[in-house]
Structure 1
């Protein structure tokens, strides 16, 4: 595959594929280029959506969760029926200012309760089809002749499946590691690529070092968050901080992916979720604050591979379920509401008598984001074989 993918980690270089000359650098030199940016956040491990956005107005909720349910007097009320977990207090102001929308009872039509399969389907965008090799985020990127090598970024050590495909993508473990620490070794590598008899390898090497210089420039120009934003310690906070650095650097970023593990709470759920949601809420709020007016060009969407059982188990936790909750935050979002159809928690309303039922396909949420925000016209190129249902109406008309 002649795809340009450059993975730089801890000052070591590894080139996968080759590409065209970096004309994007000339465009960047001509002036800042503000692009629409989509940021996807995956909560790996199957987060408990019922304890994230709590249906405190449903009497069955407290009955199903006598020890791990979030007490109604501690829930951050949203509309009299739904409320946020107390640790998500940093997101309440975004909800009130209509910058944050919530879609409950979302999920995949595939019934698997396997973490591996469900995450794979959510990243590929083809539920039930294991043979898909590329991801929906890569397919959502329009073809460009000379795209920026920082157009699509996976804020992780390895390239996430959702960004794999024919369009160029890069995996960044840490922006601060993208720098030349050993100048002599770097010079030797650069000379080696320049002296290669393979013109494509020459170009790839040249582009790699130019990308490194651009990343170093971004790091120096935006070393600290703006507008008093404070990112929490932890993987998600670090990932969203570096995505914000790239967004503010106007390097041609269009798609970014970040993930956060540790949501599989079979036992002792309450204290674990408090820690997880504290970082989750603080990281999203800090990202929004850091970007300021730049958020008009950015949409963040969150998801998890599936939800948890409606009823708590015998070890004060929950087991693998079905439907979950998604957040959408940023420019153009019609926020301040919980969208989607609520299926209810009565036994006959639960999926297989145990799980919150899916009433909104996760691709309906993502499909509206890529069409309304990125301007993509044909959803079949992003979600092949998918027949869209009712859009949740996430964007202002």
Structure 2
């Protein structure tokens, strides 16, 4: 069995490539850089949050005037009428109501910084979590063989060389599907110990590297020492930072949850000006087949955490708000009709939230039909009237200034929906 030191000596390049995103081109870029500058020039940053498990968009943002929905959900339906409940929906526009547990989102919506897109999803009608997530992260809903993820392709379209290993970062335990590809990306599970998750190399997965510097010190590969120096210099910026005792701005208190911790670390990276441009994190628990709850329960806790964490992050990065957009996504929605165990089953259309100063906020975008039987997909689901690529491409194009939808989403030739300001 190969020893750790033996692997580092013989496979340093493979390890480096695996940890950073698997790219010979990144090694070449690093070799051509004269030095890493600190701080980097501030750039636009796109933050993506994947809600794994399929969020019930009809409960998060309810078309409360729809009598068909009320009939389909006798114990799950919520009203915006104040006299109907002590905790009614937050009336957004006379038709749609925000779940009361998401009250922290209301000011952002009223300020026209937060936009909602409803009846959005994939044109592929799979109800498999794994397949739907894979298709959404690849950005090719009818092609399982796509090697790269859409966010990785977005990195390649940024139009400049990557001087920093932190250009694309996922605050997760492993690199997500959306960041697979030929452009540099790194997964960081915790800034305090800067653990690197290594994908695609069975030997590398047998041990955990404590840090980039640990690899740098132990390897005898002249190639890694030479071409990786700039990257290690940038990593040392993180290691010198007191991430453990980080104090958010404006007295912000993040929820003590996985998502709260991830977004808190993301805020630290943004403020350190380490060259971040594409960021990713995720949260689970959205597969509410039973005991979904109404204004309390598992769903309410989840949407409260989502909105409170994003709002805390937004307040924390106040000085950077012009540079940052946040976009949520989920693989599909839930059935219109509740099931026999007080929950909802795998459906089709859901909703997503987009936050930013360049967003056309204060509006529920998309085309949500009346939820009568004849309007439902397969007679049971919210129809997908907006392809997720219409939203992803518009946000990425307008915010990151990309201009190649054919490369970003090679199978798509649809239209944007106007969720971003011109």
Q: When the two structures are superposed, what TM-score results if normalisation uses the length of structure 1?
A: 0.90
Unaligned runs of 5+ in 2: 1-12, 82-87, 196-209
Distance 1:219-1:138 versus aligned 2 partners, 3 A rule: farther
Equivalent positions of 1:172-251 (< 5 A) are 172-178=188-194, 189-193=215-219, 195-196=220-221, 198-199=222-223, 201-203=224-226, 206-207=229-230, 209-220=232-243, 223-251=246-274
**Which stretch of structure 1 is more off in the superposition, 170-179 or 265-274?**
170-179
Cross-structure match for 1:68: 76
State how far apart, in whole Å, the 2-side matches of 1:64 and 1:45 are: 22
State how far apart, in whole Å, the 1-side matches of 2:136 and 2:92 are: 28
Provide Cα deviations, 1:146-189, integer angstroms capped at 9, x if missing partner.
4310000011010001011111001010112228xxxx999875
Local SS of the residue matching 2:413: coil
Cross-structure match for 2:362: 336
Distance 1:85-1:23 versus aligned 2 partners, 3 A rule: farther
Unaligned runs of 5+ in 1: 9-13
Instruction: Kindly indicate whether the alpha-carbon contact (under 8 Å) linking 1:178 and 1:212 is maintained by their aligned counterparts in 2.
Output: no
1:370 aligned to 2:396? yes
Provide Cα deviations, 1:302-349, integer angstroms capped at 9, x if missing partner.
110000000000000000000010111013111001011122200101
Instruction: Kindly indicate whether the alpha-carbon contact (under 8 Å) linking 2:149 and 2:177 is maintained by their aligned counterparts in 1.
Output: yes
State how far apart, in whole Å, the 2-side matches of 1:190 and 1:119 are: 35
Distance 1:187-1:122 versus aligned 2 partners, 3 A rule: closer
Cross-structure match for 2:118: 104
Deviation at 1:138, TM superposition (A): 0.6
Local SS of the residue matching 2:397: helix
State how far apart, in whole Å, the 2-side matches of 1:69 and 1:310 are: 10
Cross-structure match for 1:393: 418
1:28 aligned to 2:51? no
Q: When the two structures are superposed, what TM-score results if normalisation uses the length of structure 2?
A: 0.85
State how far apart, in whole Å, the 2-side matches of 1:186 and 1:278 are: 36
State how far apart, in whole Å, the 2-side matches of 1:327 and 1:50 are: 13
For the aligned residue pairs, the C-alpha RMSD in angstroms reads: 2.7
Instruction: Kindly indicate whether the alpha-carbon contact (under 8 Å) linking 1:6 and 1:171 is maintained by their aligned counterparts in 2.
Output: no
Distance 1:28-1:222 versus aligned 2 partners, 3 A rule: farther
Cross-structure match for 2:175: 159
Distance 1:69-1:188 versus aligned 2 partners, 3 A rule: closer
Provide Cα deviations, 1:355-396, integer angstroms capped at 9, x if missing partner.
00111100000010111111111101110020113x221122
Distance 1:210-1:93 versus aligned 2 partners, 3 A rule: same
Local SS of the residue matching 1:306: coil
Local SS of the residue matching 1:388: coil
Alignment match of 2:49 (pick from 35, 41, 45): 41
Distance 1:95-1:24 versus aligned 2 partners, 3 A rule: farther
State how far apart, in whole Å, the 2-side matches of 1:185 and 1:128 are: 38
